[in-house]
Amino acid sequence: MNIHKSPNAPQAMATIYFGGNIPGQEFPACDVSQDRFAEFLNDYVTPSFPGFTVTTAQGYWKGKPETVRVLTLLAADAHSFRDTVRQIGERYKTEFGQEAVAYAFTSCEFTLDCWPYGPVKTYHTNGKGY
């Protein structure tokens, strides 16, 4: 995924919610460990996205609490973005035996601000949406 904007391309943000419980496994191997998740990011996210944000949250699936990792991605060209994001989610489901991965896609405006040089590029929606 290229962070550089193609002419007239809508910009996008995706948030992916990765459940941490591994179905059918008992404690202590019931959760996706930090090390395993870091390997997943390195193998399947970093090659497509040079930068991203991961936060940890408390979520619920089928009424049961679980640790959730929330991955936020930005793209200057949304045309192939959705497919790339879904491929990451499908890979996570396969790797960790998940029943589901949740996605939120939105159009957005963002600026790549590289200190000490200030804003390098500003990306914004062109009114066509995502």
pLDDT at 1 over 80: no
Q: Which residue has the tokens 């059918």?
A: 24
Look at the chain and report how many structural domains it folds into. 1
Distance between CA 92 and CA 100 in Å, rounded?
A: 9
- Residue-level pLDDT at 29: 52
Average model confidence (pLDDT) for the chain? Answer: 79
Q: What is the mean pLDDT of residues 18-45?
A: 84
Q: Residue 95: give its domain's CATH number.
A: 3.30.70
Which tokens is 79 given? 């045309």
Residue 117 pLDDT grade (very low, low, confident, very high; cuts 50, 70, 90): low
Instruction: Give the tens place of pLDDT for each residue, 81-112.
Output: 899 999 999 999 999 999 999 999 988 776 66
Does a structural domain hold residue 5? no
Query: Which range of residues forms the domain containing residue 95?
Result: 12-123
> Which range, 30-44, 76-90, 97-111, 115-129, is most confident?
30-44
Residue of higher predicted confidence among 69 and 23: 69
Does a structural domain hold residue 34? yes
Does a structural domain hold residue 28? yes
Does a structural domain hold residue 130? no
Distance between CA 5 and CA 123 in Å, rounded?
A: 7
Which tokens is 108 given? 């957005």
- Residue-level pLDDT at 16: 97
Does a structural domain hold residue 128? no
Does a structural domain hold residue 51? yes
